[in-house]
Amino acid sequence: MSTRAREYAAQVIRRERLSEHFIRLVLGGDGLAGFASTGIPDEWVGLVVPGQFQSRYYTVRSWDGSELVLDVVVHDHGLVTEWAQRDVVGETVTVTEPKGSFALPDGAGWLLLVGDLTGLPAMARIRETVGLPTRVWVESPEIVEDYLPAGAEVAWSTPPSDDASHLATVVEGIDWPEGEGYFWMAGESAQMRAIRKHLMRERRLPSSAYDVMGYWRGGATRQPRAVDPGPLWRAGKAAGKSDEEIWADYDRAAGSD
């Protein structure tokens, strides 16, 4: 079985600045014919921008059958960061078929979502899709007004410095609801590994009760290897691995172990 994801050539048809750090790119065009959502609310695509070969991964904020919306966080420097800050309307990019990993267990009665700004598009879409009582923690240098659908209890916090995060402290301080639910989190990879260990060892959660994803790698002086989570995900699922095992494989493949 091939693990290579299908690719689509898409045009940037609109570009909108949502906030200081957030740029919305709306992709469209005939090249997206055949593109289909998985329906999994944290689904992502690989994005290759003109003149580049390496992918970066972005959440499908929405897909209505003709327009694919990606919300891109622009940080200090970076391949997509720098590209997205130009007027890129009319340019052609490549996107891969989407994959998702959010897997709500049967019987879940609540949802906890934690992440930095890069996780916000997925958290918004999860909130839009799942009608359970939801609490959200966002660590971000700015509050992005009206981005998250109403109805969730949301706590915004500011990272203590440019290269630090207190998401681990946020998670350790959570007052967990009674009964069964689901915990979803995304952020910097090394921190996510530590948080997975915390959930597994301290909270003793079964891997089916959480999904913690490394979305980007900090502290690299050299560009980290870009690894498409899609093939690893499919291969892992085919081999009967848990989400936990698959994301650990991903961290290893990306060289962050």
Ligand X SMILES: Cc1cc2nc3c(=O)[nH]c(=O)nc-3n(C[C@H](O)[C@H](O)[C@H](O)COP(=O)(O)OP(=O)(O)OC[C@H]3O[C@@H](n4cnc5c(N)ncnc54)[C@H](O)[C@@H]3O)c2cc1C
Identify the residue among 98, 115, 181, 229 touching ligand X (CB under 6 A). Answer: 229
Q: What secondary structure letter does DSSP report for 161?
A: S
| Helix, strand, coil tally for the chain in percent (to 5) | 25, 30, 45
Q: How far is the CB of 55 from ligand X (least distance, A)?
A: 9
Q: How far is the CB of 223 from ligand X (least distance, A)?
A: 6
Please, which residue, 202 or 242, has the CB nearer to ligand X? Answer: 242
Q: Which of 94, 95, 96, 100 is nearest to 38 (CA)?
A: 100
Identify the residue among 11, 13, 62, 75 touching ligand X (CB under 6 A). Answer: 75
Identify the residue among 11, 81, 92, 129 touching ligand X (CB under 6 A). Answer: 81
Q: How far is the CB of 239 from ligand X (least distance, A)?
A: 20
Residues in 158-217 at the binding interface with ligand X, rule: CB under 6 A: 213, 215-217
Q: Which of 119, 123, 120 is nearest to 111 (CA)?
A: 123
Angle at CA of residue 226, ends 88 and 27, nearest 5°: 30
Please, which residue, 6 or 30, has the CB nearer to ligand X? Answer: 6
Q: What secondary structure letter does DSSP report for 51?
A: T
In a 3-state reduction of DSSP, which class is residue 191? Answer: helix
Interaction site with ligand X (CB under 6 A): 44, 56-59, 71-73, 75, 77-81, 118, 121, 213, 215-218, 220, 229
